[in-house]
Amino acid sequence: MKVFLTAIILAFTGGALFVNLGSIPDSFLLSHTASRFYREAVVTETGALNTVSAILYDFRAFDSLGESTVIFATVSGIVLLLSRKTLPVSSAGLSLIVKRTFGILTPFVFLLSVYIILHGHLSPGGGFQGGVLLAVITIIFCIIYGSSFDLSRYPPQRKTLIETTGALLFLGVGIIGIALTGSFLGNPSAWRGVPGTLPSAGSIVPINLGVGLKVGAGLAIIFYSMIQKTLKRQ
């Protein structure tokens, strides 16, 4: 009976959502108000070709600052709960074949993440996606080589330093925006360059770099403090 009622409620909710979303006319979505402004003004106002990146890190950069604050709070909470002063005695990692394969593969993962971060204003991607790829390198180290390898190469203190550097870079670009344009996180027109080239789009590139470092180091800290005592028993 309970399952039946739940099914009925779910079916009604799904139907209502479907009808509501279907009844929005297409012309309303693309041709009026803010979306038309974004489509027309994104190249002239910011110099970025990737509209999503321009909205995230220029028009709505303050929201992105809030999101990175959320990540900072999450990392602080998880580290507070999970990390203790224990020596991580991890497994010896996987077999030699896997280790050698990922020894060849991991630099290219790093290269791809740096490419995604630095080309955030030109091609799909940006600071967040590239930063998560940076965190994947820590996952590879922890699982394939054992978490003591990750501790010896990139200790948590260095990860914390990288994360703080990213956050300060973001805030610093915002304060430079106050000095040059008069508004917090404003995009100074002197930095804008030719749209379509790599050193263009003004403050979007340093903000992408800051968000990438912050997200990558933060997620790496989260995963490391979770795996730290998991692998100890093996």
Partner 1 sequence: MTLLEAFLLPLLLVIAILVVAFRDLLSSVITLSVFSTVLAIIYIIHQAPDVALAEVVIGSGLMTAVYIAVISKIRTYRQTHKRGEKE
Residue ranges in contact with partner 1 by CB under 8 A: 50, 52-53, 116, 124-126, 128-129, 132-133, 135-136, 139, 143, 219, 222-223, 226-227, 229-230, 233
Give the 3-state DSSP-derived string for the chain, with helices as H, strands as E and coil as C. CHHHHHHHHHHHHHHHHHHHHHCCCHHHHHCCHHHHHHHHHHHHHHCCCCHHHHHHHHHCHHHHHHHHHHHHHHHHHHHHHHCCCCCCCCCCCCCHHHHHHHHHHHHHHHHHHHHHHHCCCCCCCCHHHHHHHHHHHHHHHHHHHCHHHHHHHCCHHHHHHHHHHHHHHHHHHHHHHHHHHCCCCCCCHHHCCCCCCCCCCCCHHHHHHHHHHHHHHHHHHHHHHHHCCCHHHC
Smaller CB separation from partner 1, 128 or 170: 128
Shortest distance in whole angstroms from residue 179 CB to partner 1: 31
231 touches 91 (CB < 8 A): yes
Closest among 176, 74, 64 to 126, alpha carbons compared: 64
Smaller CB separation from partner 1, 66 or 172: 66
Smaller CB separation from partner 1, 154 or 184: 154
Smaller CB separation from partner 1, 129 or 164: 129
Smaller CB separation from partner 1, 132 or 176: 132
Shortest distance in whole angstroms from residue 182 CB to partner 1: 30
Smaller CB separation from partner 1, 114 or 132: 132
What is the separation, in whole angstroms, between the first and last Cα of the chain?
Answer: 46
Shortest distance in whole angstroms from residue 111 CB to partner 1: 15
Shortest distance in whole angstroms from residue 160 CB to partner 1: 19
Shortest distance in whole angstroms from residue 149 CB to partner 1: 16
Smaller CB separation from partner 1, 143 or 185: 143
Shortest distance in whole angstroms from residue 195 CB to partner 1: 18
Shortest distance in whole angstroms from residue 132 CB to partner 1: 5
- CA–CA separation, 34 and 29 (whole Å): 10
